[in-house]
C-alpha cells in the first residue's frame, strides 16, 4: 500500500493539480501534520463541496424535462442571444439533451464568465444528441422588429435540427412551429437544455462578432458584441453605421441623421 505521507509536498501538489490523487491518498493525507499538506486537503475538500453543489444544481435544473424523458420523449431547449445590441444578428440555438448526460456548470450564459462558457461549449456539443443554430440578420430585425425576428430565428434553429423533438422548452417566448412547447421565464437558469442552448448561442455569436470586428473595425465589436458601449457609440457618431447596424434602433438612426 502506498504511503502518501512520505511524498514531498511539491510532488503531492503536482499530483493534486493533475487530479492524480486517489481517495485512499486523501484519507491518509488528512492525518498528515505538515501545513502544506493540510492546505492541499482543504483545497481538495473545497473542490469536492463545489462539485457536489454543481451536481445538485444540475439535477435541480432537469425538473422540467424529466417527465418527458421518463415518457421516452425527445426534448429540445431553445434560447436566444443578442436582442439588445445595436449591431449584429440575433442568434438562437436549439439543443436536444440526453437524459443520461451530465455536464456540470450549465446555467444561464449571462451568469457565466467567458472562460466558463468557452469551457462548457465543446462539452455541450460533444454530449448533446443534436445542436443547431439560427441567425437573424440585422435586415430581418429591421424589417420584422426584434421580437418577431427572434421568433423566426428560433423557428429556424428548431427546423435545422436533424432529429425532430417531441417537446420544446423555450426561454420566455413562443416559437411559431407546430410542436408542443413550454415557455419558462428565465428558463436558461431553470432547464439544462435551455441553459445549454443559451451557452451555445452566446459563444457562437461572440465568435461571430469578433470576426466582424476585423471587417468593420473601430466599433469595438470583439469586446462589446455590438452593445452600445462608450467606444461603440463614439465611433458610430463619428463615422456612422456599418451594414451590421440595426437601422431601426434609435441610437443608430440618430447617428445616421446627424451625419446627413
- Distance between CA atoms of residues 33 and 23, nearest Å: 18
In the chain the first and final C-alpha atoms are separated, in Å, by 81
SS3 for 74-110 is CEEEEEEECCCCCECCEEEEEEECCCCCCCCCCCCHH
166 is in an annotated binding site: no
Residue appearing with cell numbers 461603440: 232
Q: Are 83 and 90 in contact (CB under 8 A)?
A: yes
Distance of CA 256 to the CA centre of its chain: 33
Give the 3-state secondary structure of residue 19.
coil
For residue 188, how many C-alpha atoms fall within 13 Å in the half-sphere facing its CB? 24
Greatest Cα-to-Cα distance within the chain, rounded to the nearest angstrom: 81
List the grid coordinates of 170: 423555450
CA dihedral 44, 47, 53, 59 (to 10 degrees): -100
79 is in an annotated binding site: yes
80 is in an annotated binding site: yes
Q: Are 92 and 80 in contact (CB under 8 A)?
A: yes
Give the 3-state secondary structure of residue 245.
strand
- Distance between CA atoms of residues 10 and 231, nearest Å: 47
Binding residues for a divalent metal cation: 79-80, 171
Binding residues: 79-80, 171
Amino acid at each position: 500500500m502506498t504511503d502518501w505521507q512520505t511524498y514531498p509536498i511539491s510532488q503531492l501538489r503536482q499530483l493534486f493539480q493533475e487530479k492524480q490523487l486517489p481517495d485512499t491518498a486523501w484519507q491518509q493525507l488528512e492525518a498528515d501534520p505538515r501545513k502544506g499538506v493540510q492546505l492541499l486537503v482543504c483545497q481538495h475538500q473545497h473542490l469536492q463541496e463545489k462539485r457536489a453543489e454543481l451536481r445538485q444544481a444540475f439535477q435541480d435544473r432537469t425538473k422540467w424535462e424529466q417527465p418527458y424523458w421518463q415518457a421516452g420523449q425527445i426534448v429540445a431547449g431553445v434560447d436566444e442571444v443578442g436582442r439588445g445590441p445595436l449591431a449584429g444578428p440575433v442568434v438562437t440555438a436549439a439543443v436536444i439533451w440526453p437524459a443520461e448526460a451530465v455536464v456540470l456548470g450549465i446555467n444561464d450564459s449571462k451568469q457565466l464568465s467567458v472562460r466558463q462558457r468557452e469551457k462548457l461549449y465543446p462539452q455541450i456539443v460533444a454530449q448533446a444528441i443534436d445542436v443547431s443554430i439560427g441567425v437573424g440578420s440585422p435586415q430581418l430585425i429591421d424589417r420584422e422588429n426584434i421580437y418577431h425576428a427572434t421568433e423566426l430565428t428560433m423557428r429556424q434553429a428548431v427546423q435545422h435540427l436533424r432529429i425532430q423533438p417531441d417537446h420544446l422548452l423555450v426561454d420566455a417566448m413562443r416559437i411559431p412551429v407546430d410542436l408542443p412547447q413550454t415557455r419558462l421565464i428565465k428558463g436558461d437558469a431553470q432547464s439544462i437544455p435551455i441553459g445549454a442552448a443559451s451557452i451555445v448561442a452566446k459563444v457562437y455569436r461572440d465568435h461571430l462578432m469578433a470576426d466582424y470586428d476585423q471587417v468593420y473595425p473601430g466599433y469595438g465589436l470583439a469586446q462589446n458584441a455590438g452593445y452600445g458601449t462608450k467606444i461603440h457609440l463614439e465611433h458610430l457618431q463619428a463615422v456612422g453605421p456599418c451594414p451590421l447596424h440595426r437601422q431601426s434602433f434609435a441610437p443608430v438612426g440618430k447617428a445616421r441623421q446627424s451625419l446627413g
